[in-house]
Chains A and B, each alone.
Chain A
Amino acid sequence: MKKRVIVIGGGIAGMQTALRLAEQGVEPVLIEKEPELGGKLRGWHVLFPSFTPAQEVLTELRRRVNDSGIECRMSAEVCSVSPREVVLSGGERLACDAVVLASGFTLFDASIKEEYGYGIYDNVVTSADLERMFNEGRVAKADGSAPRRIAFLHCVGSRDEKVCQQHCSKVCCVTGVKQAIEMKRLFPESDVFNFYMDIRMFGPGYEEMYREAQQTYNIHFVRGRISEASPTLEGRVQIKAEDTLTGRPLRMSVDMLVLLIGMRANDDNEQLARGAGLERARSGFMKPRDLFLGNVCSNIGGIFYAGTISAPKNIGESLNEATAAADAAARYVMQ
């Protein structure tokens, strides 16, 4: 009789965990609340820093999951977990020998930052909206015309005490640079501005891409957050900011304002944590048992973490962590 490990979340981290578990001779069960696998990556166009289409990664992972015959429960929501049992919201109880939580993150709702006018004025979009536009092949202003001046605003819902999100979402900086380059490629005549607090280029090739954005694409980087945005009579967006490097207030009209929204902890983390006695960090993300020697383990034996359930991460990190979590879970159930 094979040991059974339930993996909650069918995004890239969940899929990779399940694949690795199967490799180790454990029987994984993948639970996904959406009707298809893929998670957040389904909405993405190309990946930084290589501009690899997201579909390439996604298709390959899905193919592997399919080929290995892993049991997948689609459109199933989890309401509580324990090391030996997972309860679905329909009341169904699934027995298991260990659980890997890979349920990821939630995108910050930009309309909470009402001062930026998201959902109120035209031509204020989020980074996720922009990816969807790229995928649909139709990037334009609300009236259908091409934008001539585009502003990206970093750290929307990240490092912002005012919306209770003190953590850094880590990947939005490089996303902003990537999307700015894509916009510049689409609209070579346009002016593209990035408003930032700090630019954090932590991964391989990121810093190079940032430099390229400035040198090759002539994208402007302004150090200062936008304080407010308002509509103009011509249907543009007027933004107010402070250029903190020159110490001057700045006011400019743009055709499109892109808000680089951050990652926040899922709302149901609280319920899962309470039911299973798991510890959460102040940010709401799950807290690993140990940041160095136990970063895929929870404080409860038999429950493991993979991917952005425990903190914002990029795709490569999530995939690596998934492998590590699967190995830890396999070791646990074999004992």
Chain B
Amino acid sequence: MTFYAPFCLPFILGAALMFIIVAWKWILWLLRLPRSDKRLILRGLFTHRTLGAAWEVVRESLLHRRIFRVNPLLGYMHMSLAFGWFLLIVMGWIETISYVGFRWVPLQGHVFFKYFATSLPHKPFFDFAMDLLLLFVLSGVALAWGKRLYSRAMGMRRTTKHVLGDRIALSALWFIFPARLVAESTTCALYGGGGFLTGSIGGWMGAHIGVLPLMNLETVAWWFYSSCLGLFFVALPFSRYMHIFTEIPLIFLRHYRLRSTEKHSSYDHFQIEACSRCGICIDPCQLQSVLGINDVQSVYFLRDRRYGMLTRPVADNCLMCGRCEEKCPVGIDLNTLRLNSRDRMRNVPDERRYTYLRGVDRSSGEGKVGYFAGCMTLLTPRTLSAMSTIFEAAGEEVWWADREGGVCCGRPLKLSGETDSARKMMRYNTELFRKHGITTLVTSCPICLKVFREDYDLPGIEVLHHSEYILRLIRAGRLSPTHGTTRYTYHDPCELGRGSGIYDEPRAVIEAVGELLEPASTRENALCCGSSVANLAISDGQQLQIARSVAAEMEATGAEVIVTACPLCKKAIGRGTRRPVVDLSEIVAASLK
């Protein structure tokens, strides 16, 4: 029995080309990893991490569990294509083995087994199983067509605008399984066999079409099927479908604790090409939903960066609110990738600009607890005076790091891509904090908090957001706010919630003071105030539009007062509403007797 026919050629060439290119990419990316990353891989390879990664591959690359959470129908569509195809391949191998035993069969022998196996006795179980799986995949293809027509049925208001290469690959993919159905059915029409799908269609064809046209049709159908496969495979490494072979190593590397940083590294390739351009990141983006900006979302950013077409306007136009990252089914570290693109495009430190840092120390007071207001809190002095009241009421001795002015925490510069300049400020503040011997550092700005926790090296100093600190004081009985009847609603600041995982503490503090009403989008899904320091592109008017939309949601709760825990959010939302917008510390200070 030979496993070759001329129509196999497109498939063989396509598959060979694909395997060579994918292998080349993998090897190149792995070799170019920094030494420390390679060490991480070696250390993790023979541990439970590998098993954990394998399990995640099953859950995410095959079953697409995370997409099910976005929308069950969308999840089913992705699963039927990925898992269905995977099962078809596995079942195909088992089928071949059961027919011809354990002997070497070339790849095309497995794929086009129906064509070659006409002379063998039929095994109805495999006919049935293979048809069932084919139906499974075809249902996914049908849904994908349906999604083109009406994506809202799958919970997506907008879908990705694809580039030409993607369209070619996509069309090839859509034709593969219908082509397979027709090819196998014609073979069944001529030689019998087949399950409920191919067998039935084959039977109908045999009864209605003559033998000669059927034989011609069979050749054409198998050629077409093979060509679709070949075309898809050739397009794969250059299109969105590269994600199939990138997500798997990405999951392993992630389990070995490789991470992207503010500087480019080879690991970024695994993240960038793991993007399937599913477009789930488009809907959460407020630049899209409020401002109608359609070409800067993560899917387009990653696409542009992958093909070397990334421009400053795209890289800069992002709030870095993390709403898309929260929804990304591949778990790509979108904010960090955007950050290191900005680093590469804008990092031009001016040495002279930072000479003033030398020897400045305007801090005052003495105590084990340090308070860092941050630039934005200095611009919202109600927060500052509320914190002063709270410290006094709790009898805390406080070292004021920057009440008389200080040096920026560095995060705004870092977010704008000026990472080296940001480091200068971080070094300055680190030395300042260490010099004054504090053991706790409290800040009322989530932007500062995030950079203190992630980029500062502060051994022996616990960094707290004021919401955490105030809650501790209340729980320790050092603060006794009176519970009033005011109804509050709480806005989760991006850097505090999604950025630092602090959701419960501010809520607990509000509930100690009054009643808390949750807005429609809350916690992980909270909206961005629109005035993010990470966005250098939108205008002030556009920021205001976003603020108004956020304020409208907060007002809809019916709360009398809007509370937030970030001075920037407070200023931003305050512009969009006539209701009072206050910082968490203000309501606590006001409730102290």
Chain A interface (Cβ within 8 Å of chain B)? Answer: 112, 114-115, 117, 120-121, 161-164, 227-228, 230, 238, 240, 251
Which of B378, B385, B544, B571 contacts A120 (CB under 8 A)? B385
With a cutoff of 8 Å between Cβ atoms, the chain A residues found around residue B404 in the complex are 230, 238
With a cutoff of 8 Å between Cβ atoms, the chain B residues found around residue A227 in the complex are 379
Please measure, in the bound complex, the distance between the C-alpha atom of A227 and the C-alpha atom of B382, giving whole angstroms: 16
Contact between chains at B540 and A161 (CB < 8 Å):
yes
Nearest neighbor of B380 in chain A, beta-carbon distance = A114
Which of B540, B541, B544, B571 contacts A114 (CB under 8 A)? B571
A-B contact pairs, 20 of them (CB 8 A): A112-B574, A114-B379, A114-B380, A115-B378, A115-B379, A115-B380, A120-B382, A120-B385, A161-B541, A162-B540, A162-B575, A164-B544, A164-B575, A227-B379, A230-B378, A230-B381, A230-B403, A230-B404, A238-B404, A251-B405
Contact between chains at B381 and A117 (CB < 8 Å):
yes
Query: Which of chain B's residues 400-417 have a Cβ closer than 8 Å to chain A?
Result: 403-405
With a cutoff of 8 Å between Cβ atoms, the chain B residues found around residue A240 in the complex are 405
Please measure, in the bound complex, the distance between the C-alpha atom of A162 and the C-alpha atom of B405, giving whole angstroms: 22
Q: In the assembled complex, how far is the CB of residue A165 from the closest CB belonging to chain B, in whole angstroms?
A: 11
Please measure, in the bound complex, the distance between the C-alpha atom of A162 and the C-alpha atom of B575, giving whole angstroms: 8
Please measure, in the bound complex, the distance between the C-alpha atom of A163 and the C-alpha atom of B382, giving whole angstroms: 18
With a cutoff of 8 Å between Cβ atoms, the chain A residues found around residue B380 in the complex are 114-115
Please measure, in the bound complex, the distance between the C-alpha atom of A230 and the C-alpha atom of B400, giving whole angstroms: 14
Please measure, in the bound complex, the distance between the C-alpha atom of A164 and the C-alpha atom of B571, giving whole angstroms: 12
Please measure, in the bound complex, the distance between the C-alpha atom of A103 and the C-alpha atom of B380, giving whole angstroms: 33
Please measure, in the bound complex, the distance between the C-alpha atom of A120 and the C-alpha atom of B382, giving whole angstroms: 7
Please measure, in the bound complex, the distance between the C-alpha atom of A162 and the C-alpha atom of B576, giving whole angstroms: 11
For the complex with contacts A117-B381, A251-B405, 9 further pairs of A-B residues with Cβ separation under 8 Å are: A112-B574, A114-B571, A115-B379, A115-B381, A121-B381, A161-B541, A163-B575, A164-B575, A228-B379
Nearest neighbor of B379 in chain A, beta-carbon distance = A115
User: How many residues of B sit at the interface, in one of the four size bands?
Assistant: 10 to 19
Q: In the assembled complex, how far is the CB of residue A227 from the closest CB belonging to chain B, in whole angstroms?
A: 8
Please measure, in the bound complex, the distance between the C-alpha atom of A117 and the C-alpha atom of B382, giving whole angstroms: 8
Q: In the assembled complex, how far is the CB of residue B100 from the closest CB belonging to chain A, in whole angstroms?
A: 76
Q: In the assembled complex, how far is the CB of residue A169 from the closest CB belonging to chain B, in whole angstroms?
A: 19
Q: In the assembled complex, how far is the CB of residue B281 from the closest CB belonging to chain A, in whole angstroms?
A: 30
Please measure, in the bound complex, the distance between the C-alpha atom of A115 and the C-alpha atom of B574, giving whole angstroms: 13
Closest CB pairs A-B (n = 9): A115-B379, A161-B540, A114-B380, A117-B381, A120-B381, A228-B379, A228-B378, A120-B382, A114-B382
Please measure, in the bound complex, the distance between the C-alpha atom of A251 and the C-alpha atom of B571, giving whole angstroms: 24
With a cutoff of 8 Å between Cβ atoms, the chain A residues found around residue B379 in the complex are 114-115, 227-228
With a cutoff of 8 Å between Cβ atoms, the chain A residues found around residue B378 in the complex are 115, 228, 230
Q: In the assembled complex, how far is the CB of residue B570 from the closest CB belonging to chain A, in whole angstroms?
A: 9
With a cutoff of 8 Å between Cβ atoms, the chain B residues found around residue A121 in the complex are 381
Please measure, in the bound complex, the distance between the C-alpha atom of A120 and the C-alpha atom of B586, giving whole angstroms: 12
With a cutoff of 8 Å between Cβ atoms, the chain A residues found around residue B541 in the complex are 161
Q: In the assembled complex, how far is the CB of residue A268 from the closest CB belonging to chain B, in whole angstroms?
A: 13
Binary per-residue interface labels of chain B (364-408) against chain A in the complex, 1 for a CB within 8 Å, 0 otherwise: 000000000000001111101100000000000000000111000
With a cutoff of 8 Å between Cβ atoms, the chain A residues found around residue B571 in the complex are 114
Please measure, in the bound complex, the distance between the C-alpha atom of A161 and the C-alpha atom of B572, giving whole angstroms: 12
With a cutoff of 8 Å between Cβ atoms, the chain B residues found around residue A228 in the complex are 378-379, 381
Please measure, in the bound complex, the distance between the C-alpha atom of A112 and the C-alpha atom of B575, giving whole angstroms: 9
Please measure, in the bound complex, the distance between the C-alpha atom of A251 and the C-alpha atom of B362, giving whole angstroms: 13
Nearest neighbor of B576 in chain A, beta-carbon distance = A164
With a cutoff of 8 Å between Cβ atoms, the chain B residues found around residue A251 in the complex are 405
Q: In the assembled complex, how far is the CB of residue B365 from the closest CB belonging to chain A, in whole angstroms?
A: 11
Q: In the assembled complex, how far is the CB of residue B556 from the closest CB belonging to chain A, in whole angstroms?
A: 20
Please measure, in the bound complex, the distance between the C-alpha atom of A296 and the C-alpha atom of B378, giving whole angstroms: 45
With a cutoff of 8 Å between Cβ atoms, the chain B residues found around residue A161 in the complex are 540-541
With a cutoff of 8 Å between Cβ atoms, the chain A residues found around residue B382 in the complex are 114, 120
Query: Which of chain B's residues 502-552 have a Cβ closer than 8 Å to chain A?
Result: 540-541, 544
Q: In the assembled complex, how far is the CB of residue B291 from the closest CB belonging to chain A, in whole angstroms?
A: 16
Please measure, in the bound complex, the distance between the C-alpha atom of A121 and the C-alpha atom of B380, giving whole angstroms: 12
Binary per-residue interface labels of chain B (123-154) against chain A in the complex, 1 for a CB within 8 Å, 0 otherwise: 00000000000000000000000000000000
